[in-house]
A and B are shown apart, each in its own frame.
Chain A
């Protein structure tokens, strides 16, 4: 059964300041266990959406002294919800699959933790739970009841806040019998948590099947590109290039 929705996102990196508000909002919404110091040191911090910072003109890499012409470039990276997701076919138990709304879905109670999917993801957006998540008991109070807590041995990743999409569908389409669109997603606070939080409107989420949605329009912007496009993964996340008037275009 084909769905009438195809969820996608546009990330305009010319707007992104790297402020990390999206990262925090995601941690809060999706019950991601607190990344403690030890998890940074052991390189096992989980961030379903992360801000990668690249140095441009770094003195070390180019071998020439370019200071102060050094630029920091920020890019939010989250699951690309690929149409040809390399993570999906390698899962021996079908714990990750592509649903009929363009989402790359992770079924936690099916996952047996082979980590093949993480190995195969070129974007490094899948995280393995090497530990059971630990919160002091009092912090359980703020956990989101709509999101499963992942136990040890389970792979997890960005879901585009599927719990919010489902709630939106239930309320708008199920109960009110209306069509879900940008305005209704916004009004109900059902945009993915990162999108809601972002103060620069870098992240735009919506239905790629709806020609009037912002995400449809913005994905046609002349600056559009996809991450590692040549791999043929066909992501549902579209990036818009950073603009830098000083950038030597075809250097």
Chain B
């Protein structure tokens, strides 16, 4: 039966509402009315999928990109890639918006107005590169050139390092979120340059301290993959997750037990747990002997009864802190090699962070989980030194020195790529340092940021999906992996970007320093190919071929190379507890004292992280999982505390930090926040980073007094106290919560049904 639209409407008009349920119309009629149902005879576009890798925010993910008619349409995880295994984060998803960002810088630009006035004139690449070359050759001492980059890895790091060395300039890498303290502890305790991977997938008991590994810490997608299996994987029983953290992070929210603790006391708790394991003979006997050196009293001062009052652990489900510590120790030890202790994030971001993390990671030795399935698996080094190159982030302590050098006139040329020091180092007033007539600032950027706004010359860089690159994920999956990044699309005709690598190679050639690899190549793609030859020569792993062309094609097709047969070194000897005890010290919390002061816990935002995603509208519009707030900065304040202070949700408060500076943001009533603490997400407070980021929220990093971790010099961003004062204004907070009314009708009809069996 053929039904025209007119007939249909006639019929529809006559029928009752139930009519649609009976089959009076052929199904086809309905479906073809839908634009979603494309008729069989209609030619649809053909999609191509290209594999690549990118470090959208925190960790490198293997991706496949759907491309139609020369435009990238969708990001998916690369199912072959060993870390993210087909899944991907929203940070990777949003790479599309970097690619097609409305504020993309179309061509090189030269500053014409005063510095920071935002007045530019477009120039040609020849002009721009000649200017850069003249500046590079014009400094009276090559040490006056400073190259600031992100903490690059792989081929680009190898190239940038080689360039800075051959040229004779200085370089610094900026990544305040880098786990500098954890990396140092891993180096000292595990003897590894790379972070180990936590085999959550096969673990039975995970005890984490401060590391928000399901949201922003380490390698969240890789860990989440393991976590799903840990919870409900087939053929295994459900794992237990205990999370120790002053803040109710996403990982705390997903833990079977959240243990709030006094900030900076995580290491003491770990030693107390170790004390129980040793004194009750729960751990592996060999490890206990090695770690105590036969002196079983080494942790006497950490007996739960003695120190629990210092830790500020509340009664949890009626359980006393002493019982809680004992229970954790028993559980950890009883799962032996299939238990994991993870430390990082806020636990390491204290002035005593090294001690905290050393004590935490030592627990793994005590229960024998180092190098074991379901425990802590060590990662091997990169397969070749070129791919293994890594620009270790400069610590805040060193940044302070660099800042003073710039402000004092010792630096004349600053090249910035992949980093936004004006925003990230706001507490150091980096903007003030470069605001000198005798400093020439060159910014490589895809979309404007606070630093490019202060530059003399802006060189538009290729977006991640338009560029070449390579990366060895750190945290790797327990074997060697090299991710290959390839351009999946060409830049749109209206843009004229150039890869950072290509600019460096051109400069090297023009300055006459291009006599050896990798600087002797013409394009960065050639450098990458050259590095790939080293991989081909190994003749092992997922891609092998005697012909380089075939090897290279396969490499690009798969998105990388990996060798599951390569494994990390054997675990080193266990650390001595006496050494760790000797390092014990209190966290020094700096900041105002007296009334209305709170411990401040800044935390990386789930999508904006420390601010690098702030210019992408998708990432701005992602609700924070717990508060559901989007597009702005909020202050998490315990509901009862807020009531006491008579602060309603949306009330603006002034937060004053140790350096006397302050910012204003709106209060969010948080039932799980500790009463004496406030938490504020990082990521906002950009001044000039394009239409989606500029003038939005506040930069919490700006008010820190820049306390540093004593041993490593890393930023101790959780060792801060602040004063909170009501600002006397109120405004609704943009959040998802409440848009859809809670539709649960009664307890019995609960939307989230919970069972205690499983």
Contact A145 B224, CB 8 Å, known A27-B618, A228-B743: no
A53, B626: Cβ atoms under 8 Å? yes
> Which partner residue on chain B sits nearest A34 by CB separation?
B617
Taking CB atoms, residues of chain B closer than 8 Å to A200 are 224-225, 227-228, 231
B96, A142: Cβ atoms under 8 Å? yes
Contact A36 B631, CB 8 Å, known A17-B214, A23-B622, A241-B754: yes
A103 to B465, CA, bound (A): 35
Taking CB atoms, residues of chain B closer than 8 Å to A197 are 76-77, 87-88, 90, 93
A41 to B738, CA, bound (A): 10
Taking CB atoms, residues of chain A closer than 8 Å to B102 are 136-139
B754, A20: Cβ atoms under 8 Å? no
A207 to B442, CA, bound (A): 56
A18, B74: Cβ atoms under 8 Å? no
Is B26 engaged at the interface, CB distance under 8 Å to the other chain?
A: yes
Contact A148 B36, CB 8 Å, known A100-B27, A239-B753: yes
Q: Write the B280-305 contact mask toward A (1 if CB under 8 angstroms, else 0).
A: 00000000000000000000000000
Is A152 engaged at the interface, CB distance under 8 Å to the other chain?
A: no
Among A37, A59, A137, A244, which residue has its beta carbon within 8 angstroms of that of B630?
A: A37
In the assembled complex, the CB of A215 is this many whole angstroms from the nearest CB of chain B, namely 14
Is A99 engaged at the interface, CB distance under 8 Å to the other chain?
A: yes
Q: Write the A193-226 contact mask toward B (1 if CB under 8 angstroms, else 0).
A: 1001111111000000000000000000001010
Is B64 engaged at the interface, CB distance under 8 Å to the other chain?
A: yes
| Most-contacted residue by chain A among B66, B101, B232, B240 (CB, 10 A) | B232
Among A24, A53, A198, A244, which residue has its beta carbon within 8 angstroms of that of B628?
A: A53
Among B27, B31, B97, B221, which residue has its beta carbon within 8 angstroms of that of A142?
A: B97
In the assembled complex, the CB of A147 is this many whole angstroms from the nearest CB of chain B, namely 7
Which of these binds chain A: B351-359, B389-397, B632-640, B703-711? B632-640
Among B104, B738, B756, which residue has its beta carbon within 8 angstroms of that of A243?
A: B756
A192 to B537, CA, bound (A): 40
B228, A15: Cβ atoms under 8 Å? yes
Q: Write the B676-715 contact mask toward A (1 if CB under 8 angstroms, else 0).
A: 0000000000000000000000000000000000000000
Is A52 engaged at the interface, CB distance under 8 Å to the other chain?
A: yes
Q: Write the A123-145 contact mask toward B (1 if CB under 8 angstroms, else 0).
A: 11000000000001111111111
A18, B756: Cβ atoms under 8 Å? no
B626, A75: Cβ atoms under 8 Å? no
B631, A18: Cβ atoms under 8 Å? no
B224, A242: Cβ atoms under 8 Å? no
In the assembled complex, the CB of A24 is this many whole angstroms from the nearest CB of chain B, namely 3
Which of these binds chain A: B248-256, B333-341, B516-524, B547-555? B248-256
B314, A199: Cβ atoms under 8 Å? no
In the assembled complex, the CB of A13 is this many whole angstroms from the nearest CB of chain B, namely 6
A29, B227: Cβ atoms under 8 Å? no
Contact A199 B224, CB 8 Å, known A40-B735, A138-B100, A141-B100: yes
Taking CB atoms, residues of chain A closer than 8 Å to B744 are 54
Which residues of chain A (1-23) have a CB below 8 Å from chain B? 1, 12-15, 17-21, 23
Contact A13 B752, CB 8 Å, known A28-B618, A138-B100, A142-B71: yes
A15 to B200, CA, bound (A): 13
A225 to B90, CA, bound (A): 29
B749, A124: Cβ atoms under 8 Å? no
Taking CB atoms, residues of chain A closer than 8 Å to B745 are 228
Q: Write the A221-251 contact mask toward B (1 if CB under 8 angstroms, else 0).
A: 0010101101000000001111111111100
A53, B625: Cβ atoms under 8 Å? yes
> Which partner residue on chain A sits nearest B696 by CB separation?
A37
B256, A24: Cβ atoms under 8 Å? no
A241, B753: Cβ atoms under 8 Å? yes
Among B17, B224, B232, B743, which residue has its beta carbon within 8 angstroms of that of A123?
A: B743
> Which partner residue on chain B sits nearest A159 by CB separation?
B36
Taking CB atoms, residues of chain B closer than 8 Å to A54 are 742, 744, 751-752
B71, A47: Cβ atoms under 8 Å? no
| Most-contacted residue by chain B among A89, A110, A144, A200 (CB, 10 A) | A200
B740, A59: Cβ atoms under 8 Å? no
Is B565 engaged at the interface, CB distance under 8 Å to the other chain?
A: no
A1, B640: Cβ atoms under 8 Å? no
Query: How many residues on chain A are close to B (CB under 8 Å)?
Result: 111
Among A13, A50, A93, which residue has its beta carbon within 8 angstroms of that of B740?
A: A50
Taking CB atoms, residues of chain B closer than 8 Å to A186 are 79
Taking CB atoms, residues of chain B closer than 8 Å to A65 are 640
A100 to B248, CA, bound (A): 45
> Which partner residue on chain A sits nearest B739 by CB separation?
A43
Taking CB atoms, residues of chain B closer than 8 Å to A140 are 100
A14, B232: Cβ atoms under 8 Å? yes
In the assembled complex, the CB of B223 is this many whole angstroms from the nearest CB of chain A, namely 8
Taking CB atoms, residues of chain A closer than 8 Å to B317 are 69, 246
Among B73, B607, B671, which residue has its beta carbon within 8 angstroms of that of A67?
A: B671
A139 to B103, CA, bound (A): 11
Q: Write the B244-280 contact mask toward A (1 if CB under 8 angstroms, else 0).
A: 0000101001101110100000000000000000000
B253, A138: Cβ atoms under 8 Å? no
In the assembled complex, the CB of B167 is this many whole angstroms from the nearest CB of chain A, namely 36
A69 to B214, CA, bound (A): 20
Is B120 engaged at the interface, CB distance under 8 Å to the other chain?
A: no
Among B84, B99, B736, which residue has its beta carbon within 8 angstroms of that of A45?
A: B736
A141, B492: Cβ atoms under 8 Å? yes
A100 to B31, CA, bound (A): 10
A197 to B228, CA, bound (A): 13
A100 to B21, CA, bound (A): 11
Is A189 engaged at the interface, CB distance under 8 Å to the other chain?
A: yes
| Most-contacted residue by chain B among A15, A29, A67 (CB, 10 A) | A67
A68, B736: Cβ atoms under 8 Å? no
B75, A242: Cβ atoms under 8 Å? no
Is A180 engaged at the interface, CB distance under 8 Å to the other chain?
A: no
B88, A21: Cβ atoms under 8 Å? yes
Among A73, A123, A189, A223, which residue has its beta carbon within 8 angstroms of that of B752?
A: A73
A21, B752: Cβ atoms under 8 Å? no
A18, B254: Cβ atoms under 8 Å? yes
Taking CB atoms, residues of chain A closer than 8 Å to B26 are 1
Contact A124 B254, CB 8 Å, known A67-B638, A243-B755: no
A223, B68: Cβ atoms under 8 Å? no
In the assembled complex, the CB of A239 is this many whole angstroms from the nearest CB of chain B, namely 7
Taking CB atoms, residues of chain A closer than 8 Å to B117 are none
A21, B749: Cβ atoms under 8 Å? no
Taking CB atoms, residues of chain A closer than 8 Å to B755 are 223, 241-244, 247, 249
Among A17, A72, A202, A245, which residue has its beta carbon within 8 angstroms of that of B256?
A: A245
> Which partner residue on chain A sits nearest B492 by CB separation?
A141
Q: List 28 A-B contacts (CB under 8 A).
A: A15-B231, A18-B254, A18-B625, A19-B89, A19-B215, A19-B625, A24-B607, A25-B93, A36-B631, A40-B735, A45-B621, A50-B736, A51-B625, A53-B626, A56-B752, A72-B672, A73-B752, A89-B21, A141-B99, A146-B38, A193-B74, A197-B88, A223-B758, A242-B754, A244-B755, A246-B756, A247-B754, A249-B757
Taking beta carbons and an 8 Å cutoff, which residues of A are in contact with B? Answer: 1, 12-15, 17-21, 23-25, 27-29, 34-37, 40-41, 43-45, 47, 50-56, 58-60, 65, 67-75, 77, 88-90, 93-94, 97-100, 105-110, 122-124, 136-148, 159, 162-163, 166-167, 170, 174, 186, 189, 193, 196-202, 223, 225, 227-228, 230, 239-249
Taking beta carbons and an 8 Å cutoff, which residues of B are in contact with A? Answer: 12, 17-18, 20-21, 26-27, 30-31, 33-38, 40, 44-45, 49, 64, 66, 68-69, 71-77, 79, 84, 86-90, 93-94, 96-97, 99-102, 104, 214-215, 220-221, 224-225, 227-229, 231-232, 238, 240, 248, 250, 253-254, 256-258, 260, 314, 316-317, 492, 606-607, 617-618, 621-623, 625-626, 628, 630-632, 638-640, 671-672, 674-675, 732, 734-745, 749, 751-758
Instruction: Please list the 5 inter-chain residue pairs (A to B) with the smallest Cβ-Cβ separation, ordered nearest first.
Output: A200-B228, A24-B90, A243-B758, A199-B224, A136-B102
Apart from A25-B88, A43-B738, list 14 A-B contacts with CB within 8 A. A23-B90, A40-B739, A45-B739, A71-B253, A73-B754, A88-B20, A90-B17, A94-B12, A141-B492, A147-B36, A189-B76, A193-B74, A202-B228, A249-B755
